[in-house]
């Protein structure tokens, strides 16, 4: 597997991770800020390998700088932190727009989207920053869109981010939640989550990380399922994953 190759390479060459990585994360990512020193090290290593494996592109007059790569990449590392796999194998291109954008024929502006046909994740940089800066409102476009991309990849039989059984029991609960929300649009997760399983999953992940305690109180079963699926508990801020 390609990820193992990169980890081997990392061990052999032990490259110096640019200090910007730590600086950007300390400024924006409360998830990273709270991690223990050894988990911070693991986070940085994974992020370094990940960034080498993603093609970041933008509009003609905009370059994707290290700050953007680090913060956007951190969403992938955060979600997959408890899992073995963190490299995406299909969605290898991330398009960074300066601010909210729109497509031909679309009436409104959007902060991000995932295109399963051409396998491109698009994000508005302004919205990404805002998503991480306000860390307790369960609105984080990077976490949201990255969850969609992982979800799509995980549906390929050859790509396993999650344990199959854990995914199936999550899926069952999710279907139940969707029906609940459709009956009661004022329910805790909000009407948007009730659209389909993709949105329910993406919205749940935003709650899981940004309103962990609240989600556990209001939707204990959902919280438990996500914890099992992602193999991490964001309530243990210093050690969301066990250390070995
Ligand atoms: Zn969505």
CATH superfamily of 2-154: Glucose-regulated metallo-peptidase M90, N-terminal domain (1.10.472.150)
Task: Show me where the domains of the chain are located.
Answer: 2-154, 164-230
Write out the chain's pLDDT in tens, 244 residues.
789 999 999 999 999 999 999 999 999 999 999 999 999 999 999 999 999 999 999 999 999 999 999 999 999 999 999 999 999 999 999 999 999 999 999 999 999 999 999 999 999 999 999 999 999 999 999 999 999 999 999 999 888 999 999 999 999 999 999 999 999 989 999 999 999 999 999 999 999 999 999 999 999 999 999 999 999 999 999 999 988 6
For residue 115, report the distance from its CA to the centre of ligand 1, in Å: 11
For residue 129, report the distance from its CA to the centre of ligand 1, in Å: 18
Beta-carbon count within 10 A of 218 CB: 14
Q: What share of the chain is helix, strand, coil (3-state, %, to 5)?
A: 55, 10, 35
For residue 197, report the distance from its CA to the centre of ligand 1, in Å: 10
**CB-neighbour burial class of residue 88 (10 A; exposed 0-12, middle 13-18, buried 19+):** buried
pLDDT in tens, 37-77: 999 999 999 999 999 999 999 999 999 999 999 999 999 99
**CB-neighbour burial class of residue 3 (10 A; exposed 0-12, middle 13-18, buried 19+):** middle
For residue 100, report the distance from its CA to the centre of ligand 1, in Å: 15
22's tokens? 């730590």
For residue 93, report the distance from its CA to the centre of ligand 1, in Å: 18
User: Which of 78, 10, 90, 21 lies closest to 54 in space, CA to CA?
Assistant: 90
């Amino acid at each position: 597997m390609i990820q193992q190759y990169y980890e081997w390479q990392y061990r052999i060459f032990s490259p110096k991770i640019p200090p910007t990585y730590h600086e950007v994360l300390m400024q924006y990512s409360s998830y990273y800020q709270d991690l223990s020193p050894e988990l911070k090290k693991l986070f940085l290593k994974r992020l370094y390998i990940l960034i080498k494996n993603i093609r970041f592109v933008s509009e003609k007059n905009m370059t994707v700088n290290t700050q953007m790569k680090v913060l956007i990449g951190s969403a992938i590392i955060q979600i997959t932190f408890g899992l073995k796999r963190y490299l995406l194998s299909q969605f290898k291109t991330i398009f960074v727009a300066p601010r909210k954008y729109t497509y031909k024929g679309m009436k409104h502006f959007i902060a991000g989207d995932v295109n399963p046909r051409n396998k491109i994740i698009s994000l508005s940089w302004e919205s990404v920053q805002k998503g991480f800066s306000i860390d307790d409102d369960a609105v984080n476009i990077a976490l949201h869109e990255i969850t969609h991309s992982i979800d799509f990849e995980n549906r390929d039989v050859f790509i396993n981010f999650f344990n199959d059984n854990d995914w199936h029991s999550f899926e069952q609960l999710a279907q139940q939640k969707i029906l609940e929300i459709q009956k009661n649009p004022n329910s805790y997760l909000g009407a948007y989550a009730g659209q389909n399983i993709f949105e329910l999953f993406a919205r749940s992940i935003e709650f899981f990380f940004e309103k962990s305690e609240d989600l556990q109180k209001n939707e204990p079963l959902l919280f438990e399922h996500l914890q099992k699926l992602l193999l991490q508990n964001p309530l243990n801020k210093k050690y969301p994953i066990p250390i070995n």
